[in-house]
Structure 1
């Protein structure tokens, strides 16, 4: 502890005593888990490897804890621990190896093969983590639907409970069938196990960090106190079945290089699916533990670095026969709750585990069986409670039912069918959830979304009146079998209404991809459009989506109702032109004089205004206004088509507007005295009327009435543009 000038501890110094206590208590907890898990996995014919397995599990905790120091953002009190949950997936193989009649293998070969299963699970887990780290998609794994992740973890807890209870009754495999044939002589051991489980639970509710330690300590003291009171010794307890049989302590197998040659690789290859299941659960568990620490301790852990470090650690542990190990949120938070703040607690923890590793065989030999199984059942119950029972009030009932279904499948059929069920459930959850997202984000007729063409008042009025005849649907996201139905429903609704559209535009600019079901749905849209004599235009598809649409074009057959366009604006322009032509309004109200008549409402006055403008014939490609110029000209289109081109950040010119007969341009810069914001060029041969602001000043002095008419015309034109813009903004919300 650092001491200042006054002799008092500095305020920033980490308290030593709480850190020492925290390290010892968490170390005892990890020791208990190692003993319990070893007793579960290495039983029966595997019992000769009990001491070795316990030592390897403790060594896994030590290595995993040391590795955490290399992860940015990891608190100094972080604890790496062996993981019960992934190992639970390997229990079916462990039960086969523990049965002397199930496989013709020597005791050493059985132990070596079980260690190989544990080690390979750790290696596969580590490799998976390294791949996720290299692709930098670790956080994506956290996006697996919570009911599925919770179901996997809760299932592992249930397996530990059933396995612990099955060991008491000496069932051939963990499950309800073995427990149903409960022998009478197993009742005392079962009562002691469940009694200890309950005691641990009660004391844990009092103090989650200290209660389990006290319960196990009291169980040890009570057990050996009763033995002493009855005049019995440890060997008598072994005979009665309350301590591991003495045979498990004779000819114990230790670690040596020759174990590799004793591995039954045929047995291992027959259980690859279990190894994959353990690895999957291990990766999910690691990500959930990282999230738990971040939330509980309000820290931000670098996920990519955490995965790479943990992955390398597990590959190394697996190569030595160790088990899947990574940071434990429960033990890390317990360290903090016990008052540990600096590295002292971790040092004490590592020292305790190292000492326990040396004396692992003796610890296992004198640990009552009901203590090991009771602790294991409690661990399983806490996992089951956290990920299933407590979730009942936190999740929607449908989500909780999925988690419960995974647990039920695990109990009845095993962990592998449960994982298959979970993957199917995850896929269905994704499909249903994604299908609920609005794939059609906006429906707009010509009152809301129109092309960039500026037309005369008469034609604009026609498009306003007939706005329902052109409908634009803006889509986004992934179009697949679950979401494309929304598009069909919107199109059906549009086709069934009395004022149905003549043209439907599908804006694909934000569509990321589409599957074969979406292509079939688009083909169906073509049938619907043909029957309704409506044209459908798909616009602005990305290159990837356009490649898929090529296949659709081949399926549509001759004379389809569906068309394709590279730009939505161009498709809108074409739809408006078709609509005006169909209504015989393409030439109606077009031209400069028509614009003035509609704007001023006085034919004679309109003619006078027109007469003061200069008529010009311009060739295609001729520039009428230049970006940056400060001229004050106003141009009114009589015939032909002009384009407004604005510069882009990369220096190119992009068309932002098209001007048709009756369109007015240049009035804002003329009145505001601003430089031109864009070029205006003639797209076709055109006739225009030009008027200069200096001419207006002269007219104001000589003919105030005519000048007033001009100002009224400009004000009316600006008011119409402003009104249309506001309406489009309001209706697009």
Structure 2
């Protein structure tokens, strides 16, 4: 019974201790949540000013609460669906730059048309909603199809250019916040007339974010402290100057009083007030938002993964951000995504779970519901400093520190930023993609598409021939020149091939072999280059041979119109080499005696030794298709091929065979298993009627006992044959690698 009472007491104590532990954990996460909420609120206000501030106070009054919608929903959804529990989300500087262009363009167009503020507000609200919904759907689709890696194929200089262009847009937004005018040559004079009361808080925030020369402030509290100090400095400057809050608002240094009364959700919009034709003109920004947001998610998730050494599921992050944007769009929120800076800030405070994120979302919601009027006292120069710090970080990374990149890549980054500044973000990025493609083609054109070059003297077919034929091919092999191609062929690389063949035809050549086994594809213009190559070969009376052509590559070549003799084609390089060798040896084979094996052996054995060896071998005549021995058979004999052809092959699953090597007259086969005392490792089948001489293991042992001198000559002969094969194999590997 005492034991039971103790157990009963423990069952009541455990929940209390668990609750206390949870309470302590939540309280311990509160500082991180407060800092994250402060930074999120600061970003939300600064981004709202950048997107809506230039279009008038009415849009800012309606748009500021929507930024809090984005912050709260992104924090909650990404918190519960991300592969990392401490991941944070919210509006991102890259998408905000595009949104500011879109909203500013829509507002300016409608103001020039003298449309009412209600129509402007309705059109902008629907534009924001549609952008969030479309981005959300695209991200969900990419994540569901597991195609998040597609955006990684965007050229690196284009990524750097659009990030640096985003930095410029943030600086442009900061200039507008400070002066009320868009950044431009005509407005630079206004920027010079800024008062010290504005510049002081800007400088404090920028120093807190970017640091000083030789000193960077990496502490997680650096940004919150700099925001607080900048706000205090602003109010101190007002007091020192004797300016009131009303005068500061009149000078544009502070917001007009804010409230939730101007919020307009998408469901409250009157569709008759929406100008769809104006929205359609800005489809480019909508498409760019999808690409920019996807890229930002992958880049930020990669940065978090590297900094925290945690594995990240990129497709899951895309689905997470997609769901957050779809929910945000339903409530009129702007496009949001994962935040690298806020996530690392949360991580450095020790957060490893979702508690701090949940608390930060609650604090942001409370601020949106009850404290938005207090944001009217938030100094605009502090927000401008925040935008300058964000933009300065991007410009420093991609315009200053990226100077170590290749000259062409750095030039492309600078070009994109210049075009973004002069003609707009979408035009700059689009031009960057086009220029990157052109540079890629030029660079790829300088990369050799030739994997290997060879002649008939250095690379032979898998058909092993006698010593005399081998020596003959060594002499005649220079009449053959071949290239094994690789990669993707286009007009630039194909012209390289034609130029190289022209150079080779300055020497006496009879056959040109082009192997396509390692070619992944070719464009339409390449086929015309091979027509030109065929014409060149015909001019020099050389036979052009194409090998290893897959069906997708054969089709464009087949469509080409060969005016003269079409190239000869073989299924693989080995068959082409065998055919060429046969043509080269035709004259020599006609003059060669019928007894090729006897002639070959006579070079190594005298008449007595020859008679002793032949007396111990058995003559074997076989029809085509005869199985000489099978894989797994005992290695108890070897064969001297007198006439015909046999091949070593392996059976394939489909019923076919893969040829490893072939042996013609005056060669030997089966000696490896015999000398090593092991079983056969492959099948040997006759390809044509064959005459051979069989030497069994028992006969070899008898020869060693009865005639040691002849047996020693035989061993030396076999070693020489094996060494010759090894030499040919080494040469083939040397050419390949």
Common fold by TM > 0.5:
yes
Which of 350, 354, 365 in structure 1 is aligned with 2:365?
A: 354
Structure 2: how far apart are the matches of 1:712 and 1:230?
107
For residues 489 and 175 of structure 1, do their structure 2 counterparts lie closer, same or farther at Cα, with a shift above 3 Å needed?
farther
Q: Does the CA-based 8 Å contact 2:204-2:229 persist in structure 1? A: no
Which of 50, 68, 72 in structure 2 is aligned with 1:58?
A: 68
Pairwise CA distance, 1:111: 1.9
Structure 1: how far apart are the matches of 2:68 and 2:607?
99
Pairwise CA distance, 1:129: 2.0
Pairwise CA distance, 1:411: 0.9
| Stretches of structure 1 lacking an aligned partner (at least 5 in a row) | none
Q: How does 1:194-213 map to 2 (within 5 A)?
A: 194-201=202-209, 205-207=216-218, 209-213=220-224
Cα displacement string for residues 280-334 of structure 1 (whole angstroms, at most 9, x for unaligned residues): 2222111111111111111110111111221222223223321111111111112
Q: Calculate the aligned-residue CA RMSD, in Å.
A: 3.3
| Stretches of structure 2 lacking an aligned partner (at least 5 in a row) | 1-12
The residue number in structure 2 matching 1:49 is 59
Pairwise CA distance, 1:27: 1.5
Which of 580, 584, 588 in structure 2 is aligned with 1:575?
A: 580
2:632 is aligned with 1:628: yes
TM-score normalised to structure 2 length: 0.89
Q: Does the CA-based 8 Å contact 1:144-1:426 persist in structure 2? A: no
State the SS of the aligned residue for 2:269: helix
Q: How does 1:477-492 map to 2 (within 5 A)?
A: 477-492=487-502
Q: How does 1:434-453 map to 2 (within 5 A)?
A: 434-453=444-463
For residues 598 and 221 of structure 1, do their structure 2 counterparts lie closer, same or farther at Cα, with a shift above 3 Å needed?
same
Q: How does 1:272-421 map to 2 (within 5 A)?
A: 272-359=283-370, 361-393=372-404, 395-421=405-431
Structure 2: how far apart are the matches of 1:235 and 1:28?
26
- Say which is worse superposed, 621-630 or 400-409, in terms of deviation: 621-630
The residue number in structure 1 matching 2:568 is 563
State the SS of the aligned residue for 2:648: strand
State the SS of the aligned residue for 1:684: strand
Structure 1: how far apart are the matches of 2:460 and 2:530?
24
Structure 1: how far apart are the matches of 2:556 and 2:641?
42
- Say which is worse superposed, 423-432 or 97-106, in terms of deviation: 97-106
Pairwise CA distance, 1:545: 1.6
State the SS of the aligned residue for 1:60: helix
Cα displacement string for residues 512-533 of structure 1 (whole angstroms, at most 9, x for unaligned residues): 1110122122222212222222
Structure 1: how far apart are the matches of 2:64 and 2:604?
93
Structure 2: how far apart are the matches of 1:586 and 1:309?
79
Pairwise CA distance, 1:644: 2.7
Structure 2: how far apart are the matches of 1:727 and 1:94?
67
Pairwise CA distance, 1:167: 4.2
State the SS of the aligned residue for 1:537: strand
Structure 1: how far apart are the matches of 2:673 and 2:480?
33
State the SS of the aligned residue for 1:375: helix
For residues 728 and 276 of structure 1, do their structure 2 counterparts lie closer, same or farther at Cα, with a shift above 3 Å needed?
closer
Q: Does the CA-based 8 Å contact 2:206-2:386 persist in structure 1? A: no
State the SS of the aligned residue for 2:693: strand
State the SS of the aligned residue for 1:669: helix
For residues 493 and 126 of structure 1, do their structure 2 counterparts lie closer, same or farther at Cα, with a shift above 3 Å needed?
farther
Q: Does the CA-based 8 Å contact 1:639-1:688 persist in structure 2? A: yes
Q: How does 1:206-285 map to 2 (within 5 A)?
A: 206-207=217-218, 209-227=220-238, 233-245=244-256, 252-255=262-265, 257-259=267-269, 261=271, 262-285=273-296
For residues 730 and 186 of structure 1, do their structure 2 counterparts lie closer, same or farther at Cα, with a shift above 3 Å needed?
closer
Structure 2: how far apart are the matches of 1:582 and 1:175?
84
Which of 115, 131, 154 in structure 2 is aligned with 1:121?
A: 131
Q: Does the CA-based 8 Å contact 2:200-2:233 persist in structure 1? A: no
The residue number in structure 2 matching 1:640 is 644
The residue number in structure 2 matching 1:653 is 657
- Say which is worse superposed, 656-665 or 721-730, in terms of deviation: 721-730
Q: How does 1:710-725 map to 2 (within 5 A)?
A: 710-725=714-729
TM-score normalised to structure 1 length: 0.89
The residue number in structure 1 matching 2:4 is none
For residues 371 and 725 of structure 1, do their structure 2 counterparts lie closer, same or farther at Cα, with a shift above 3 Å needed?
closer
- Say which is worse superposed, 151-160 or 483-492, in terms of deviation: 483-492
2:603 is aligned with 1:598: yes
- Say which is worse superposed, 290-299 or 482-491, in terms of deviation: 482-491
Cα displacement string for residues 589-609 of structure 1 (whole angstroms, at most 9, x for unaligned residues): 862112211333x35543553
Structure 2: how far apart are the matches of 1:183 and 1:510?
60
The residue number in structure 2 matching 1:164 is 174
Which of 64, 88, 94 in structure 2 is aligned with 1:85?
A: 94
Which of 69, 72, 82 in structure 1 is aligned with 2:79?
A: 69
- Say which is worse superposed, 704-713 or 215-224, in terms of deviation: 704-713
Structure 2: how far apart are the matches of 1:492 and 1:11?
81
Q: How does 1:623-702 map to 2 (within 5 A)?
A: 623-630=627-634, 632-648=636-652, 652-702=656-706
Structure 1: how far apart are the matches of 2:75 and 2:123?
26
For residues 413 and 615 of structure 1, do their structure 2 counterparts lie closer, same or farther at Cα, with a shift above 3 Å needed?
same
Cα displacement string for residues 241-260 of structure 1 (whole angstroms, at most 9, x for unaligned residues): 322246x7697344362215
- Say which is worse superposed, 234-243 or 420-429, in terms of deviation: 234-243
Q: How does 1:457-476 map to 2 (within 5 A)?
A: 457-476=467-486
Pairwise CA distance, 1:335: 1.7
Q: Does the CA-based 8 Å contact 2:620-2:693 persist in structure 1? A: yes
Which of 614, 618, 626 in structure 2 is aligned with 1:614?
A: 618
Structure 1: how far apart are the matches of 2:293 and 2:178?
27
Q: Does the CA-based 8 Å contact 1:165-1:373 persist in structure 2? A: yes
For residues 389 and 707 of structure 1, do their structure 2 counterparts lie closer, same or farther at Cα, with a shift above 3 Å needed?
closer
Pairwise CA distance, 1:349: 1.3
- Say which is worse superposed, 178-187 or 295-304, in terms of deviation: 178-187
For residues 492 and 61 of structure 1, do their structure 2 counterparts lie closer, same or farther at Cα, with a shift above 3 Å needed?
farther
